Amino acid sequence: MYKSGAWLLLLLWLSGCSPAPSQSQLYQIYQRDSLKVGILHGPTSYYVGIDGPTGFELELSQALADKLEVKLELYPSYHLDELLQKLETGQVDYIAGGLTQTELRKSKYRASPAYRWINEVLVFKQGNVWPRTLDELSDQVIVVKDSSHAETLRQLSLDNPDLQWQQHPTLDADEILQQVVDGNIAYTLTDSNQLALNRRFYPNLSIAFTVRDNLPVSWLLADNQDDSLYAVLIEFFGSMYQSGELIALEDRYFGHVQLFDYVDTLAYIDAIEQNLPSYKDWFMQYAGELDWRLLAALSYQESHWDPKAKSPTGVRGLMMLTLPTAQQMGVSSRLDPEQSIRGGSRYLHRLVSRIPERIGMPDRLWFALASYNVGWGHVEDARILTQRQGADPDKWLDVKQRLPLLRQKSFYKTTKYGYARGDEAVSYVENIRRYYDTLLWVDERQQAEQRLEQQKRRLTEQLNSDTSTEILPPASDTPPKQPIESQ
Catalytic residue positions? 302
Among residues 346, 290, 281, the alpha carbon closest in space to that of 319 is found at 346
What is the distance between the alpha carbons of residues 38 and 49, in angstroms, rounded to a whole number? 19
What is the DSSP secondary-structure string of 263-302? Answer: HHHHHHHHHHHHTGGGTHHHHHHH-TTS-HHHHHHHHHHH
Whether the upstream peptide bond of residue 53 has omega within 30° of 0, thus cis, is: no
Residue 182 parent element (H or E):
helix 173-182
DSSP 481: P
Q: How many CA atoms lie within 13 A of 420 on its CB side?
A: 28
∠ CA 250-241-386, nearest 5°, is 75
Whether the upstream peptide bond of residue 307 has omega within 30° of 0, thus cis, is: no
Give all strands (DSSP E) within 424-468, no chain letters: none
Are the C-beta atoms of 210 and 121 separated by less than 8 Å? yes
Count the neighbouring beta carbons within 10 Å of the beta carbon of residue 425.
25
What is the distance between the alpha carbons of residues 389 and 74, in angstroms, rounded to a whole number? 39
Among residues 410, 383, 409, 419, the alpha carbon closest in space to that of 398 is found at 383
Amino acid at 88: E
Residue 392 parent element (H or E):
none
